[in-house]
């Protein structure tokens, strides 16, 4: 199955639409907004977890895989969502968090209460000496990846929050249980799956210290991951469905294997290298402006590499873990519209399946909070403390969190200029930036030049043009520091996408814009009206021959 003409829309239910006035989004809220989603032209709705959970990591700490958390509604609401979305031509994709459970999950509770069967579900080890964890691995949210469990006298591994113990995939019982979870949702009419940090499921055979890092390179893309994925897809009966794996710290070779149809693993993969080009020294918590040349190199490596290896990319900039791209690689003040449109076009014409994260299509920005009390995310709160401990002042730490917090993407969807942005009738669980008064769906629906209408054009264009779905890709302007540009080709036809990633005028280095028009290329889309001599700030031009 190919998903080259499809577009996925990601919904973070907690922040999408509150239907019952408790300040939290819910499934009925999603149902209320289905007409809007249909108007975007998207094919799949990926919902992040709404399963029962203590919410230490906003639902990625699952306490029961096969139920709906009452905060989000109930199973009848879910069934209605699947049915109503289906009637409107959209399919539901769910987020499967199979690398770890919550500490509240029945399996973990049984394990720590001495049930040996369930102890084999988790990764429990002796320390290297009393009080010393088995290895020096660090968890993703700061601190050791091991936690001492006094009831059973062992350490358990948690690659994420301490409330998220990792499951032991070497145990066939675990793999069977998890395949049954996926099957349960498939049988309820779910038509696709996103697998959370799925390339971390196969741990190394020998647990040893990482002498050069935090451990991740020892457990990413582990020894049996491909085999486990094939087995999961087969046992859950989901081959042919859209499946996307979130691949942490992965590489091209593995992603080709995950997504090449001949391997019967997944239909596509998320990789994150392009979202680290503003990490100073590779450190998320050190700021620097994005390195556009590095970004271009990464796009080229992945786009061309996946093409050569017959793999398939999920193309995206935003999700619930990433700051808003317009605040990050664009300019959310002076050139909000221009940069939001350019960034959208820069990936929507690529080879892959585009993902739109809620609010991206209207140019939603970072949260712009002024105090740490406004943040909710476990990672942000942990790192705020870590940064202070490293000697940063409160202001410096707040500035870094302001740029890098995952809460930047989790603020409520901005539906209108009404109080609470039309998301809720009460103060929501996470507050909105003030700019909801101008950046919102209602305003943009009435403006033909809005970011929202540009997104609709992009989605429609992909559906109607085989060249975007199937064309080959080649990068041009490779030495240009300011511009990212590529050509898609199919049966002698060409589509050329030229993006100025800078907030000032810039030139092309290989050909001028007028060289294109003189040679019979026609501008078919852009974010400024007439063509000029140079590319203007954040200009995107799309030519076709
Ligand atoms: C993924 C999710 C993220 C979560 C983590 C642990 O990266 O996208 O939100 O915190 O996995 O489940």
> What are the per-10-residue average pLDDT scores of the chain (545 residues)?
94 98 98 98 98 98 98 98 98 98 98 98 97 96 96 97 98 98 98 98 96 90 98 97 97 98 98 98 97 98 98 98 98 98 98 98 98 97 97 98 98 98 98 97 98 98 98 97 98 98 97 96 97 97 98
Whether 463 is covered by a domain: the verdict is: no
Regarding whether 81 and 60 lie in a shared domain, the answer is yes
- CB of 248 within 8 A of CB of 199? yes
CA angle 540, 544, 545 (to 5 degrees): 150
Residue 95 burial (10 A CB sphere; 0-12, 13-18, 19+): buried
Pick the atom of ligand 1 nearest to 141's CA: 10
Regarding whether 481 and 454 lie in a shared domain, the answer is no
Other CB atoms within a 10 A radius of the CB of residue 138 amount to 17
Regarding whether 493 and 423 lie in a shared domain, the answer is no
**What pairing do the DSSP bridges indicate for beta strands 540-544 and 493-500?**
antiparallel
Regarding whether 536 and 429 lie in a shared domain, the answer is no
Tally of domains within the chain: 3
pLDDT of residue 2: 87
* CATH number of the domain encompassing residue 143: 3.90.400.10
Regarding whether 111 and 94 lie in a shared domain, the answer is no
pLDDT of residue 97: 98
Regarding whether 205 and 247 lie in a shared domain, the answer is yes
Distance CA 127, CA 131 (A): 7
* Total residues found in the chain within this entry: 545
Closest by Cα among 434, 456, 452 to 443? 452
DSSP codes of every residue in 317-343? S--TTS--HHHHTS-TTTTHHHHHHHH
Pick the atom of ligand 1 nearest to 60's CA: 12
Ligand 1 proximity of 166 Cβ (cutoff 6 Å): no
pTM surpassing 0.95? yes
Residue appearing with tokens 């950046």: 439
- CB of 476 within 8 A of CB of 487? yes
Select from 101, 160, 314 the residue to mutate for testing ligand 1; criterion: most ligand atoms less than 8 Å from CB. Answer: 160
Whether 466 is covered by a domain: the verdict is: no
Whether 3 is covered by a domain: the verdict is: no
Whether 175 is covered by a domain: the verdict is: yes
Ligand 1 proximity of 57 Cβ (cutoff 6 Å): yes
Distance CA 498, CA 334 (A): 21
Regarding whether 110 and 78 lie in a shared domain, the answer is no
SS3 (DSSP) at 389: helix
Q: How does 164-185 read in b/e, with b if 16+ C-beta sit within 10 Å?
A: bbbbbbbeeebbeebbebbeeb
- CB of 111 within 8 A of CB of 118? yes
Strand arrangement of the beta sheet that strand 483-490 belongs to: 472-476, 483-490, 493-500, 540-544, 522-526
Regarding whether 519 and 484 lie in a shared domain, the answer is yes
CA angle 199, 55, 141 (to 5 degrees): 50
Count, in order, helices (H) and strands (E) of the chain. 18, 16
Q: How far is the CA of 506 from the centre of ligand 1 (A)?
A: 38
DSSP codes of every residue in 96-148? E--SB--TTSHHHHHHHTT-HHHHTTB-EE--SBTTB-SS--B-TTSSBSEEE
pLDDT of residue 222: 97
Q: Which of 410, 427, 458 is the last residue of a domain?
A: 458
Q: What is the phi/psi pair of residue 47, to 5°?
A: -100, 130
- CB of 498 within 8 A of CB of 477? yes
Whether 217 is covered by a domain: the verdict is: yes
Distance CA 128, CA 460 (A): 58
**Tokens describing residue 83:** 């049915």
Q: Which domain holds residue 134?
A: 106-157
Distance CA 35, CA 44 (A): 14
Torsion of CA 102, 108, 112, 113, to 10 degrees: 120
Distance CA 2, CA 268 (A): 10
* CATH number of the domain encompassing residue 511: 2.60.40.1180
**Tokens describing residue 382:** 């942990």
Distance CA 290, CA 322 (A): 14
Residue of 77, 196, 332, 360 marked active site: 196
pLDDT of residue 446: 97
Q: Which of 403, 429, 458 is the last residue of a domain?
A: 458
Whether 16 is covered by a domain: the verdict is: yes
For the question of residue 442 being annotated catalytic, the response is no
Regarding whether 227 and 119 lie in a shared domain, the answer is no
Tell me: the pLDDT tens digits for 485-526? 999 999 999 999 999 999 999 999 999 999 999 999 999 999
Regarding whether 249 and 135 lie in a shared domain, the answer is no
Q: What is the phi/psi pair of residue 230, to 5°?
A: -60, -45
Whether 482 is covered by a domain: the verdict is: yes
pLDDT of residue 26: 98
| Structural element, H or E, at residue 354 | strand 353-357
Ligand 1 proximity of 194 Cβ (cutoff 6 Å): no
Ligand 1 proximity of 160 Cβ (cutoff 6 Å): yes
Whether 162 is covered by a domain: the verdict is: no
Regarding whether 513 and 446 lie in a shared domain, the answer is no
* CATH number of the domain encompassing residue 52: 3.20.20.80
Crossing angle for the helix pair 336-348 and 451-464, to the nearest 10 degrees:
20
Select from 65, 157, 164, 196 the residue to mutate for testing ligand 1; criterion: most ligand atoms less than 8 Å from CB. Answer: 196
Q: 472 has which bridge partners?
A: 489
Pick the atom of ligand 1 nearest to 61's CA: 12
Regarding whether 213 and 320 lie in a shared domain, the answer is yes
For the question of residue 246 being annotated catalytic, the response is yes
DSSP state of 48: P
**Which CA distances in Å does 102 have to 163, 201, 377?**
6, 15, 16
């Amino acid at each position: 199955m190919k998903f080259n003409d499809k577009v996925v829309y990601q919904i973070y239910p907690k922040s999408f639409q509150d239907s019952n006035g408790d300040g939290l989004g819910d499934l009925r809220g999603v149902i209320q907004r289905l007409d809007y989603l249909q108007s975007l032209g998207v094919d799949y709705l990926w919902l992040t977890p709404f399963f029962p959970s203590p919410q230490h990591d906003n639902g990625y700490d699952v306490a029961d895989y096969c139920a709906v958390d009452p905060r989000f509604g109930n199973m009848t609401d879910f069934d209605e969502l699947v049915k109503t979305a289906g009637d409107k031509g959209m399919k539901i994709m769910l987020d499967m968090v199979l690398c770890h459970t919550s500490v509240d999950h029945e399996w973990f509770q049984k394990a720590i209460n001495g049930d040996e069967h369930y102890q084999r579900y988790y990764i429990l080890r002796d320390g290297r000496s009393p009080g010393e964890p088995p290895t020096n691995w660090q968890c993703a949210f700061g601190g050791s990846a091991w936690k001492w469990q006094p009831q059973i006298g062992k350490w358990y591994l948690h690659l994420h929050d301490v409330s998220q113990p990792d499951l032991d995939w070497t145990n066939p019982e675990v793999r069977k249980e998890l395949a049954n979870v996926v099957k349960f949702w498939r049988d309820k009419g779910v038509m696709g799956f996103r697998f959370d940090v799925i390339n971390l499921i196969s741990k190394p055979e020998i647990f040893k210290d990482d002498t050069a890092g935090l451990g991740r390179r020892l457990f990413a893309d582990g020894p049996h991951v491909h085999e486990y994925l094939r087995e999961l897809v087969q046992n859950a009966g989901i081959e042919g469905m859209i499946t996307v794996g979130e691949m942490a710290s992965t590489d091209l070779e593995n992603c080709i294997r995950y997504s090449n149809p001949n391997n019967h693993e997944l239909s596509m993969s998320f990789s994150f290298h392009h979202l680290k080009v503003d990490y100073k020294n590779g450190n998320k918590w050190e700021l620097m402006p994005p390195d556009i040349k590095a970004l271009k190199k990464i796009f080229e490596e992945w786009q061309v590499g996946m093409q050569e290896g017959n793999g398939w990319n999920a193309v995206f900039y935003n999700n619930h873990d990433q700051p808003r791209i317009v605040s990050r690689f664009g300019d959310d003040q002076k050139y909000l519209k221009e940069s939001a449109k350019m960034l959208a076009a820069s990936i929507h014409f690529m080879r892959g399946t585009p993902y739109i994260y809620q609010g991206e299509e209207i140019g939603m920005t970072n949260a712009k909070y002024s105090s740490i009390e406004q943040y909710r995310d476990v990672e942000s709160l942990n790192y705020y403390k870590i940064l202070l401990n490293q000697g940063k002042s409160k202001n410096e730490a707040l500035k870094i969190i302001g740029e890098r917090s995952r809460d930047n993407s989790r603020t409520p969807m901005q539906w209108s200029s009404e109080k609470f942005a039309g998301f809720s009738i009460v103060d929501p669980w996470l507050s909105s930036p003030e700019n909801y008064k101008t950046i919102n769906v209602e305003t943009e629906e009435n403006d033909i030049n809005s970011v929202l209408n540009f997104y609709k054009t992009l989605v429609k264009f992909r559906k109607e043009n085989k060249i975007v779905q199937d064309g080959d890709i080649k990068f041009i302007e490779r030495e240009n520091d300011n511009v990212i540009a590529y050509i898609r080709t199919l049966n002698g036809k060409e589509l050329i996408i030229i993006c100025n990633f800078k907030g000032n005028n810039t030139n092309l280095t290989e050909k001028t814009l007028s060289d294109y028009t003189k040679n019979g290329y026609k501008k078919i889309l852009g974010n400024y009206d007439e063509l000029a001599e140079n590319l203007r700030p954040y200009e995107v031009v799309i030519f076709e021959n």
